[in-house]
């Protein structure tokens, strides 16, 4: 495009190598996306239906599963459309909107992870006061605060980036509109925008990480004081799944946005982005369902009830046919 022409749309370069095997790539990403939606939907449904799962921990897990469904839906449908049709153009407004919602849900995830760590801290370190401290109203307020904070966080960086001039090349070296590759295309002074994005990312990530780390440090000290090995194992198992998600998510995001030189557009950054934007939402239902006894028990009960209903329906149909 000419330097004097304002960019009205961008071209997402994505993964050129995958286009040679677009059908296989499309099938893999579609399967991951559907399993992610189905797995998190199962967590939400079981947490709502089973009385034994109506606890603060599963209330936050329902919010987290809903968040993962929204988070992966920001990028994967665009990627699937690009792989299927080969049309990689995205309008300027859609690009800015995608960037905003990606960081809205991403920031909310950090706040929810910190809230879930705080919930585990109260449950393990203050078990007698836990029902009072983490009642229904407190859970609702903490969840609402996480969503609202995540909603407000991207406003300033997004508004600032949307006002930058884009009059040069319109090719984004990514599979979605990320801040780093987008800022590289601006023909204006992006120094302040880079600092703003870095500071906002650092505040969100490091503050939530500090709260999470503090909660788990106190949890470890409390678990170490439990006299029996069985008690220590039981206490740690209640937060092992959450801790696994925390380590994976924080590690990949810190690599992308907080480390020195973050924001550059490289193939390695795109691979890491696939991991935290697509793979981690898939790992959430897998880790929580496979490592959680309550979920496995509830899933078995629901499966048994469905099988019983199917058998009763079959018997009813047989009796109706015999009567006729």
pTM passes above 0.95: no
Strand 9-12 relative to strand 171-172: parallel, antiparallel, unpaired?
Answer: parallel
What string of DSSP letters covers 183-228? HHH-SS--HHHHHHHHHHHHHHHHHHHHHHHHHHHHHHHHHHT-SS
Identify the bridge partners of residue 171 per DSSP, sorted by sequence position: 11
Domains along the sequence of the chain with CATH? 9-291 (1.20.1070.10)
Strands in 88-157 per DSSP E: 89-91
* HSE-up of residue 194 (Cα within 13 Å, Cβ side): 16
Over its length of 324 residues, how does the chain's per-residue pLDDT go in tens digits? Answer: 344 457 788 888 877 777 677 788 888 889 999 999 988 888 888 888 777 778 888 899 889 999 999 999 999 988 888 877 766 788 888 999 999 999 999 999 999 989 988 998 898 888 888 888 899 899 999 999 999 999 999 999 999 898 888 887 788 888 888 888 888 888 888 888 888 888 998 899 889 989 988 988 888 888 887 777 776 666 666 667 677 777 877 777 777 666 555 445 556 777 778 887 888 888 877 776 655 666 656 555 555 545 555 555 555 555 455 555
CB 101 within 8 A of CB 74: yes
Q: Could you tell me the end-to-end alpha-carbon distance of the chain, in angstroms, rounded to an integer?
A: 75
């Amino acid at each position: 495009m000419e330097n004097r022409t304002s960019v009205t749309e961008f071209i997402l370069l994505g993964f050129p190598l995958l286009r040679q095997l677009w059908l296989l790539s499309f099938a893999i990403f579609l399967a991951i996306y559907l399993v992610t939606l189905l797995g998190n939907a199962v967590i939400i449904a079981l947490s709502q239906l089973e009385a034994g799962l109506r606890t603060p921990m599963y209330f936050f897990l329902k919010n987290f599963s809903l968040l993962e469904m929204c988070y992966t839906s920001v990028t994967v449908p665009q990627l699937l459309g690009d792989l299927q049709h080969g049309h990689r153009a995205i309008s300027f407004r859609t690009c800015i909107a995608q960037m905003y919602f990606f960081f809205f849900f991403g920031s909310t995830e950090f706040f929810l992870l910190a809230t879930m760590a705080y919930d585990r801290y109260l449950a393990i370190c203050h078990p007698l006061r836990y029902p009072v401290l983490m009642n229904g109203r407190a859970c609702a307020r903490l969840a609402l605060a996480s969503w609202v904070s995540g909603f407000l966080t991207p406003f300033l960086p997004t508004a600032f980036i949307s006002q930058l001039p884009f009059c040069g090349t319109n090719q984004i070296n990514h599979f979605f509109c990320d801040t780093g590759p987008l800022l590289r295309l601006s023909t204006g002074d992006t120094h302040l925008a880079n600092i703003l994005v870095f500071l906002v990312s650092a505040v969100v990530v490091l503050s939530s990480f500090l709260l999470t780390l503090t909660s788990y440090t106190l949890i470890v000290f409390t678990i170490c004081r439990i006299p029996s090995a069985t008690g220590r194992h039981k206490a740690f198992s209640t937060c092992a799944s959450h801790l696994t998600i925390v380590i994976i998510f924080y590690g990949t995001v810190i690599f992308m946005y907080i480390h020195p030189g973050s924001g550059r557009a490289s193939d390695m950054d795109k691979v890491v982005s696939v991991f935290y934007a697509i793979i981690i939402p898939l790992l959430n239902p897998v880790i929580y369902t496979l490592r959680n006894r309550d979920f496995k028990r509830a899933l078995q009960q629901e499966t048994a009830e469905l099988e019983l209903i199917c058998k009763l329906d079959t018997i009813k149909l047989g009796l109706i046919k015999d009567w006729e």
